């Protein structure tokens, strides 16, 4: 006690003396009492809320997954495997039966039963939830006994359970006791108990949560399964600044960071203590073109919209050299893509090939379409959303300039960008977006990205900012939604993607690479969905 | 006197009102908060409903008046991103910022005065020239670069000091302090130096100039003639008279140290109010931005008010003119 006071005094003197920086303080290097094996990790963003229905964002979902369990989870290869549901079957196309695991307890000691599943199914679809699409909207949940529960659908749906892996099960009695029965509305004036406290069934407990600063996870000694991780504790901190985050990894103050900026990858690899773990992400970066307005905005072409001409769309596609973007702008940390979906998510993806880069043909097509000298248009681009997003757009601008198209680039922070390009105004002629289908299924692409924005079916074309519209694609999307035979379904999906390509509807660019900085003491699993799952993290003590 | 203070208080309220108004008219250029609140696959209809719920569709004037009314009742709103009361969030982050500002100011004062005195007394030595060169660097290098250079040198290369965060803190009531743990004190050093460097160079140059001035005055010459020791002339007489303007400047600068800790806090991931503000700007968290700007305005207004009042106490002429104005 006295010693530490003296140490503190020495440190204060050192501080005031200012110049004698390190000397006096080397004494104070004593580390606080540590639990046996602590994993420290830093992400550029926050864990804002502990409520698992509050924000659909990969990192946050992964963190909630350390504390909460789902009925079905995804394994290291993204395959669906049992978790709280030991098994399930589909006795008839519209009825799914889940057999729940017995002897599972929530962190507060109460038992996990069918009531909790039904409660969670309702809560996740309530207003204020960010995960309403995870459980089919038309499904009804029926308790058969304490450990059997049925999901009854109105129409057959082969992918009804695809998003169950990020739908975490909460405790009914706990939520009722603490006034957290409904998710918090964005306009709510009071703090939700569930935002600051957790009560899951998962392998870790949260013992401290300061939103935006730090969150401490401790091993759950009563977990129902054996856990691969050997951690006793995991401490999360936000480090927003790129340089500071890399420095923290290099000094060993943290064992994991995300992301490592592209330009720092070599430095991390050269450090000897940490490496960059890179792998393709599920997100596809692509360009879209406004194909709905009769006159293109911010363009010198008056009275018509050049993008309504398929030749112009093909010309744009062929004028952009994605290989160079992947190699130069992305420093090799990107995989050029022929599809709007990552290849791991669609078994027949290998059958698609990206049309060749061909500026001569692009120029010829533009001439044929009546623009021998090109034309000018505006392009919208975020500058803080995807890896090197602004630089990609700049490269696209200069590539299009070579075929005579003058692009006026408008790069903005995401907060401004999305306000401009999303509903209701869809104020853009040419834009860059990155998309991960939350269901991890192609239907999502055919429906939300490439579906007609006619409003005939809620949600269709929600993110189709340029309103590419082909009724054949919509019809195929509806078939895919119902089709339960996998081979047939994959064939229909292929038809859909072929149709989009035949229309030159979009310009897929690449899947950007994940870039985690990982200490050499740590072993973990990097899934392409960019979620860090603590139960797969181990650290050499 | 009371009338003077009342008049100043009214002016302060007007300043705060103006700050709020300017802030609100700028928020709509920051972007759309709704996109930061919801996930990507939220339907457009729901986004529109949230906008409406949050009152973001109302004209700026209406939004501002509603906010001003709430603030008058002590209600600062709820953060969009954290869904917690803004007042509580700011209160939780305030100790970190204030401790950092205090240490930065102490560093600036002690080192600045020490180096300033040395430069004045030993003008021709190479060390004095070195100090002046350093002060030039301190004034001309941007804060974030200094911070990153310090991290690179003392954390990454030498491994002496932590590169981010506050270390372990101790909770005393609602206040959290880093002064009571070794790791907390170690964590304070780099950010304090980064934040205080500009003030330090300012104070050093001020002290040097003032000291040179004072050393030329008659009473110093008389003191020498009386045969006093150099030590007592320099530190008992000259330095004392130098310090009056230094203290004024340091006091006034305290406000800007608190307000401009934003950059230092971002570089060192220091969990203070400035960092909260930067995150709020990125996420268009209007309640936090508004409350922070008001708070900073209030700090400046309070400091200026105090200085004004102190002046009237010190200088009777101001009192007289205030009396006449009545």
Is A438 near chain B, with CB under 8 Å? yes
Q: Do A212 and B82 touch (CB under 8 A)?
A: yes
Using a CB-CB cut-off of 8 Å, the residues of chain B touching A11 are 182, 185-186
> Do A496 and A530 reside in the same domain of the chain?
no
Range of the domain at A135: 2-241+521-539
Using a CB-CB cut-off of 8 Å, the residues of chain B touching A18 are 107, 110-111, 193
The residue in chain A having the minimum alpha-carbon distance to the alpha carbon of residue B55 is: A187
> Do A300 and A175 reside in the same domain of the chain?
no
Give bridge partners of residue B260 from the DSSP assignment: none
Specify the pLDDT at position B320: 57
Q: Do B271 and A251 touch (CB under 8 A)?
A: no
Whether A76 contacts A172, CB under 8 Å: no
DSSP string, A299-345: -S--SS-GGGSHHHHHHHHHH--HHHIIIIITTT-EEE-SSSS-GGG
3-state secondary structure of A254: coil
The pLDDT tens digits for A395-432 are 999 999 999 999 999 999 888 898 888 877 889 999 99
Dihedral Cα B204, B208, B214, B216, nearest 10 deg: 180
Q: Which residue has the tokens 């969150």?
A: A215
Specify the pLDDT at position A14: 40
Give dist(CA A401, CA A384) in Å, integer: 24
> Do A464 and A525 reside in the same domain of the chain?
no
The pLDDT tens digits for A38-55 are 999 999 988 888 999 988
Please classify residue B70 by burial: count the beta carbons closer than 10 Å to its beta carbon, then call 0-12 exposed, 13-18 middle and 19+ buried.
middle
Specify the pLDDT at position A371: 94
pLDDT exceeds 70 at position B325: no
What tokens were used for A270?
């050269």
> At A466, which CATH number?
3.10.105.10
> Do A338 and A359 reside in the same domain of the chain?
yes
How far apart are the CA of A256 and the nearest CA of chain B, in angstroms? 14
DSSP letter, residue A168: B
> Do A13 and A41 reside in the same domain of the chain?
yes
> Do A182 and A59 reside in the same domain of the chain?
yes
Give CA A101 to chain center in angstroms: 29
Is A270 inside a domain boundary? no
Specify the pLDDT at position B143: 86
Residues 6+ apart with CB under 8 A from B32: A415, A416, A418, A419, B51, B56, B284
Residues 6+ apart with CB under 8 A from A301: A295, A371, A375, A377
Sheet holding A140-145, edge to edge: A85-92, A95-100, A148-152, A140-145
Give dist(CA A299, CA A306) in Å, integer: 10
Most confident range, picked from A129-143, A487-501, B107-121: A487-501
Is B20 near chain A, with CB under 8 Å? no
Residues 6+ apart with CB under 8 A from A447: A459, A460, A461, A477, A481
Specify the pLDDT at position B315: 65
Is A24 inside a domain boundary? yes
Chain B from 188 to 207: CB within 8 A of any A CB: 188-189, 192-193
DSSP letter, residue A293: -
Give dist(CA B204, CA B216) in Å, integer: 19
Is A82 inside a domain boundary? yes
Whether A252 contacts A517, CB under 8 Å: no
The domain tally of chain A equals: 2
The pLDDT tens digits for B50-64 are 888 888 888 888 888
Using a CB-CB cut-off of 8 Å, the residues of chain A touching B263 are none
pLDDT exceeds 50 at position A10: no
The residue in chain B having the minimum alpha-carbon distance to the alpha carbon of residue A416 is: B31
Higher-pLDDT residue of B154, B32:
B154
What tokens were used for A533?
């799952």
pLDDT exceeds 60 at position A218: yes
User: Taking chain A, what is the end-to-end CA distance rounded to the nearest angstrom?
Assistant: 28
Is A257 inside a domain boundary? no
Helices (H), A74-223: 114-123, 172-177, 193-196
Mean pLDDT of chain A: 88
Is B1 near chain A, with CB under 8 Å? no
How far apart are the CA of A105 and the nearest CA of chain B, in angstroms? 29
H helix or E strand, kind and range, residue A285: strand A274-289
Helix B86-121 with B273-282: angle, nearest 10 deg = 120
Is A22 near chain B, with CB under 8 Å? yes
- Closest Cα to residue A423, out of B75, B46, B145, B131? B46
Give CA A453 to chain center in angstroms: 24
pLDDT exceeds 60 at position B32: yes
Of B35, B80, B110, the CB nearest to A18: B110
> Do A105 and A200 reside in the same domain of the chain?
yes
Is B59 near chain A, with CB under 8 Å? no
Is B36 near chain A, with CB under 8 Å? yes
Q: Do B161 and A16 touch (CB under 8 A)?
A: no
> Do A455 and A370 reside in the same domain of the chain?
yes
Average pLDDT over residues A348-355: 94
> Do A159 and A286 reside in the same domain of the chain?
no
How far apart are the CA of B323 and the nearest CA of chain A, in angstroms? 44
DSSP letter, residue A370: T
> Do A237 and A323 reside in the same domain of the chain?
no
Whether B165 contacts B266, CB under 8 Å: no
The pLDDT tens digits for B106-134 are 999 999 989 998 988 888 889 988 888 88
Using a CB-CB cut-off of 8 Å, the residues of chain A touching B42 are 130
> At A204, which CATH number?
3.40.190.10
- Closest Cα to residue B104, out of B207, B178, B198? B198
Is A269 inside a domain boundary? no
Specify the pLDDT at position A13: 39
What tokens were used for B5?
């203070």
Give dist(CA A454, CA A433) in Å, integer: 21
What tokens were used for A12?
């204060």
Using a CB-CB cut-off of 8 Å, the residues of chain B touching A455 are none
Specify the pLDDT at position B304: 82
Is A13 near chain B, with CB under 8 Å? no
* ipTM metric: 0.82
Chain B from 228 to 257: CB within 8 A of any A CB: none
Q: How many CB atoms lie within 10 A of CB A281?
A: 27
- Closest Cα to residue A371, out of A301, A310, A430? A301
Q: Do B151 and A247 touch (CB under 8 A)?
A: yes
Give bridge partners of residue A168 from the DSSP assignment: A70
DSSP letter, residue B273: H
The pLDDT tens digits for B206-225 are 889 888 888 888 888 888 88
Q: Which residue has the tokens 């007007």?
A: B14
Of A188, A189, A244, the CB nearest to B269: A244
Give dist(CA B209, CA B132) in Å, integer: 12
Percent of chain A beyond pLDDT 90? Answer: 68
Whether B45 contacts B13, CB under 8 Å: no
Rounded to the nearest 5°, which phi and psi values hold at A459? Answer: 95, -20
Give dist(CA A537, CA A128) in Å, integer: 32
Is A448 near chain B, with CB under 8 Å? yes
What tokens were used for A253?
């103050």
- Closest Cα to residue A434, out of A287, A285, A325, A326? A285
Q: Do B47 and A250 touch (CB under 8 A)?
A: no
Q: How far is CA A351 from CA A174, A509, B58, B274, in A?
A: 50, 17, 52, 52
Specify the pLDDT at position A6: 41
Higher-pLDDT residue of B127, A23:
B127
Using left for φ > 0, alpha for ψ between -120 and 50, and beta otherwise, residue A426 falls in left
Specify the pLDDT at position B249: 80
How far apart are the CA of B233 and the nearest CA of chain A, in angstroms? 24
How far apart are the CA of A527 and the nearest CA of chain B, in angstroms? 20
Specify the pLDDT at position A151: 95
pLDDT exceeds 70 at position A16: no
Question: Considering only A87-101, A396-410, B85-99, B251-265, which range has the smallest mean pLDDT?
Answer: B251-265
Is A247 inside a domain boundary? no
> Do A490 and A525 reside in the same domain of the chain?
no
How far apart are the CA of B84 and the nearest CA of chain A, in angstroms? 5
- Closest Cα to residue A497, out of A357, A345, A341? A341
Average pLDDT over residues A481-497: 92
What tokens were used for A130?
């960010």
pLDDT exceeds 90 at position A391: yes
Residues 6+ apart with CB under 8 A from A121: A135, A139, A141, A151
Whether B86 contacts B76, CB under 8 Å: yes
Is B165 near chain A, with CB under 8 Å? yes
Is A275 inside a domain boundary? no
> Do A198 and A293 reside in the same domain of the chain?
no
Q: Do B32 and A418 touch (CB under 8 A)?
A: yes
H helix or E strand, kind and range, residue A40: strand A38-43
DSSP string, B11-68: HHHHHHHHHHHHHHHHHTTS--THHHHS-TT--HHHHHHHHHHTTTTS-HHHHHHHHH
Of B35, B83, B268, the CB nearest to A244: B268
Whether B250 contacts B105, CB under 8 Å: yes
Is A91 inside a domain boundary? yes
Q: Which residue has the tokens 């005065």?
A: B113
Whether B178 contacts B187, CB under 8 Å: yes
Is A541 near chain B, with CB under 8 Å? no
Q: Which residue has the tokens 């290369």?
A: B157
What tokens were used for B201?
């160079």
Higher-pLDDT residue of A205, B3:
A205
Q: Which of B29, B47, B57, B83 to probe by mutation at the A interface, max A CB count within 10 Å?
A: B83
DSSP string, B118-129: HHHHTTTSHHHH
The pLDDT tens digits for A300-345 are 999 999 999 999 999 999 999 999 999 999 988 899 999 999 999 9
DSSP string, A344-369: GG-TTGGG--PPPP-HHHHHHHHHHT
- Closest Cα to residue A132, out of A457, A448, A451, A459? A459
Question: Considering only B129-143, B191-205, B240-254, which range has the smallest mean pLDDT?
Answer: B240-254
Using a CB-CB cut-off of 8 Å, the residues of chain A touching B189 are 14-15, 21, 25
Rounded to the nearest 5°, which phi and psi values hold at A20? Answer: -80, 40
Whether A283 contacts A527, CB under 8 Å: no
Of A187, A188, A248, the CB nearest to B164: A248
Whether A153 contacts A139, CB under 8 Å: yes
Q: Do A28 and B278 touch (CB under 8 A)?
A: no
């Amino acid at each position: 006690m006295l010693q530490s006071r003296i140490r503190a005094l020495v440190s204060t003197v050192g501080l005031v003396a200012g110049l004698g920086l390190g000397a006096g303080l080397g004494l104070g290097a004593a580390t606080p009492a540590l639990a046996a094996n602590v994993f420290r990790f830093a992400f550029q963003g926050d864990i804002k809320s502990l409520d698992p229905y509050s924000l659909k964002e990969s990192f946050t979902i992964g963190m909630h997954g350390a504390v909460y369990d789902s009925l079905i989870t995804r394994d290291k290869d993204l395959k669906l495997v049992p978790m709280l549901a030991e098994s399930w079957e589909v006795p008839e196309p519209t009825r799914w039966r889940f057999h729940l695991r017995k002897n599972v307890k929530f962190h507060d000691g109460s038992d996990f039963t069918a009531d909790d599943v039904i409660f969670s199914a309702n809560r996740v679809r309530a207003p204020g939830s960010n995960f309403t699409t995870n459980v089919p909207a038309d499904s009804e949940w029926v308790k058969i006994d304490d450990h059997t529960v049925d999901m009854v659908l109105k129409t057959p749906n082969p992918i009804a359970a695809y998003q169950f892996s990020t739908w975490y099960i909460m405790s009914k009695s706990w939520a009722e006791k603490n006034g957290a029965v409904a998710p918090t509305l964005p306009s709510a004036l009071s703090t939700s108990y569930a935002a600051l406290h957790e009560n899951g069934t998962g392998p870790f407990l949260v013992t401290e949560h300061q939103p935006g600063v730090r969150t401490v996870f401790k091993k759950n000694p009563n977990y129902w399964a054996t856990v691969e991780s050997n951690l006793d504790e995991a401490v999360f901190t936000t480090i927003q600044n790129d340089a500071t985050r890399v420095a923290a990894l290099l000094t060993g103050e943290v064992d994991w960071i995300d992301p490592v900026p592209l330009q720092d990858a070599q430095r991390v690899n050269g450090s000897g203590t940490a490496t960059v773990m890179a792998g393709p992400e599920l997100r596809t970066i692509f360009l879209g073109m406004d194909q709905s307005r009769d006159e293109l905005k911010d363009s010198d072409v008056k009275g018509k919209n050049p993008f309504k001409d398929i030749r112009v769309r093909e010309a744009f596609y062929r004028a952009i050299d994605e290989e160079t973007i992947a190699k130069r702008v992305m420093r090799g940390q990107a995989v050029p893509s022929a599809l709007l979906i990552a290849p791991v998510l669609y078994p027949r993806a290998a059958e698609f090939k990206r049309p060749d880069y061909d500026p001569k043909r692009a120029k010829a097509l533009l001439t044929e379409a009546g623009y021998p000298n090109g034309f000018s248009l505006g392009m919208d681009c975020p500058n803080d959303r995807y890896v090197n997003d602004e630089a990609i757009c700049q490269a696209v601008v200069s590539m299009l300039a070579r075929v005579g198209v003058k692009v006026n680039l408008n790069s903005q922070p995401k907060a401004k960008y999305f306000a401009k390009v999303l509903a209701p105004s869809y104020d853009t002629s040419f834009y860059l977006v990155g998309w991960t289908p939350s269901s991890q299924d192609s239907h999502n692409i055919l429906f939300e990205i490439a579906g007609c924005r006619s409003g005939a079916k809620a949600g269709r074309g929600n993110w189709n900012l340029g309103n590419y519209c082909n009724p054949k694609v919509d019809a195929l999307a509806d078939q895919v939604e119902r089709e339960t035979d996998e081979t047939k379904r994959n064939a229909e999906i292929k038809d859909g993607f072929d149709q989009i390509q035949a229309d030159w509807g979009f310009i897929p660019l690449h899947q950007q690479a994940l870039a985690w900085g990982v200490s050499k003491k740590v072993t973990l699993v990097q899934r392409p969905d960019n979620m860090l799952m603590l139960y797969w993290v181990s650290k050499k003590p | 006197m009371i009338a003077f203070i009342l008049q100043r208080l009214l002016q302060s309220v007007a300043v705060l009102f103006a700050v709020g108004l300017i802030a609100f008219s700028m928020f709509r250029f920051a972007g759309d908060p709704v996109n930061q609140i919801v996930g990507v696959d939220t339907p457009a209809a729901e986004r529109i409903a949230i906008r409406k719920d949050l009152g973001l569709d109302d004209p700026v004037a209406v939004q501002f008046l509603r906010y001003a009314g709430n603030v008058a009742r002590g209600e600062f709103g709820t953060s969009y991103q954290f869904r917690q009361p803004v007042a509580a969030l700011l209160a939780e982050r305030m100790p970190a910022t204030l401790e950092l500002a205090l240490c930065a100011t102490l560093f600036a004062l002690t080192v600045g005065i020490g180096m300033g005195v040395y430069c004045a007394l030993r003008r021709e030595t190479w060390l004095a020239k070195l100090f002046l060169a350093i002060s030039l660097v301190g004034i001309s290098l941007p804060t974030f670069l200094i911070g990153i250079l310090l991290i690179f040198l003392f954390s990454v290369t030498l491994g002496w000091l932590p590169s981010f965060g506050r270390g372990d803190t101790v909770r005393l009531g609602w206040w959290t302090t880093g002064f009571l743990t070794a790791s907390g004190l170690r964590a304070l050093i780099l950010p304090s130096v980064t934040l205080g460097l500009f003030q330090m160079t300012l104070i050093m140059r001020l002290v040097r100039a003032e000291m040179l001035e004072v050393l030329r005055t008659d009473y110093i010459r008389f003191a020498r003639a009386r045969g006093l020791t150099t030590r007592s002339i320099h530190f008992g007489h000259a330095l004392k008279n130098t310090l009056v303007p230094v203290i004024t400047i340091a006091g006034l600068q305290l406000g800007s140290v608190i307000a401009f800790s934003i950059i230092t806090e971002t570089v060192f991931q220091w969990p203070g109010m400035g960092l909260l503000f930067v995150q709020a700007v990125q996420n268009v968290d209007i309640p936090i931005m508004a409350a922070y700007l008001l708070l900073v305005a209030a700090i400046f207004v309070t400091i200026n008010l105090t200085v004004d009042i102190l002046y009237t106490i010190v200088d009777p002429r101001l009192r007289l003119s205030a009396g006449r104005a009545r």
